[in-house]
């Protein structure tokens, strides 16, 4: 069982290694909410009586567009929804599905909460760590293709062990199925 590293760890790490602006070296930040995305956001805004209510949907749009939510993107979302960047950041850091730094091309999330745990979920995790050559949870493989993490209950307990790869939801994964699953990924 993985240790509770995330409890008792330091958050200084995330500051240090990912830079402040959060975009590619030397390139200025390109806004997300232009053109079609802006139109989509405007449509979403009609569904709620406040701009703030569009925050989670807007952050999803950022992540779908860029693969993660950078600090520059947080500032942009804040600007668009009339929220301070600090406020947006407070929300982003609350929800585990928003990535605050880039992840592997295939972000593999394995449920290991008790219902899956008693069905061998940890063996599935180990199989992924082995076959992706990641070796360690949360660390992206050298070729940038894979990141493997454990997640909490995915709500498919009768289909143990469920695994999400990015937003693809795959049921009933066993260690034996892992190599084949991985080989089919682009």
User: For binding to other proteins (CB under 8 A), which residues are involved?
Assistant: 1, 3-4, 6-12, 20, 47-50, 52-57, 59-60, 71, 74-75, 81, 83-87, 89-91, 93-98, 112-119, 151-160, 164, 167-169
Hey, is 136 helix, strand or coil? coil
Q: How far is the CB of 1 from other proteins (least distance, A)?
A: 7
Q: How far is the CB of 94 from other proteins (least distance, A)?
A: 4
CA distances to 3, 96, 123, 157, 160 from 118, in Å: 17, 24, 11, 11, 9
Q: How far is the CB of 86 from other proteins (least distance, A)?
A: 4
Q: How far is the CB of 72 from other proteins (least distance, A)?
A: 10
Beta bridge partners of 164: 109, 169
Quote the CA–CA distance of 98 and 92 in Å, as a whole number. Answer: 6
Comparison of 64 and 143: residue with beta carbon closer to other proteins: 64
Comparison of 27 and 94: residue with beta carbon closer to other proteins: 94
Comparison of 48 and 143: residue with beta carbon closer to other proteins: 48
Comparison of 24 and 142: residue with beta carbon closer to other proteins: 24
CA dihedral 11, 1, 119, 128 (to 10 degrees): 70
Comparison of 90 and 179: residue with beta carbon closer to other proteins: 90
Q: How far is the CB of 59 from other proteins (least distance, A)?
A: 7
Q: Which of 116, 115, 133, 131 is nearest to 173 (CA)?
A: 116
Which sign, positive or negative, has the C-alpha torsion 127, 132, 133, 138? negative
CB atoms within 10 A of CB 120: 16
């Amino acid at each position: 069982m993985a240790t509770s590293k995330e409890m008792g760890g330091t958050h200084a790490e995330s500051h240090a290694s990912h830079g402040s602006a959060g975009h590619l070296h030397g390139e200025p930040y390109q806004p997300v909410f232009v053109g079609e995305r802006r139109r989509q956001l405007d449509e979403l805004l009609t569904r709620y009586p406040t701009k703030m209510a569009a925050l989670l949907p807007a952050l999803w749009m950022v992540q779908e567009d860029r693969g993660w939510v950078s600090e520059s993107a947080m500032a942009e979302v804040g600007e668009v929804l009339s929220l301070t960047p600090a406020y947006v950041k407070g929300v982003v850091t609350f929800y585990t599905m928003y990535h605050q730094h880039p992840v592997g091309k295939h972000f593999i999330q394995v449920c290991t909460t008790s219902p899956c745990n008693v069905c061998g979920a940890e063996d599935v995790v180990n199989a992924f760590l082995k076959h992706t050559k990641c070796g360690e949870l949360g660390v992206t493989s050298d070729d940038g293709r894979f990141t493997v993490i454990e997640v909490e209950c995915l709500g498919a307990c009768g289909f143990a062990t469920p695994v999400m790869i990015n937003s693809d939801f795959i049921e009933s994964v066993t260690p034996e199925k892992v190599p084949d699953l991985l080989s089919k990924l682009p």
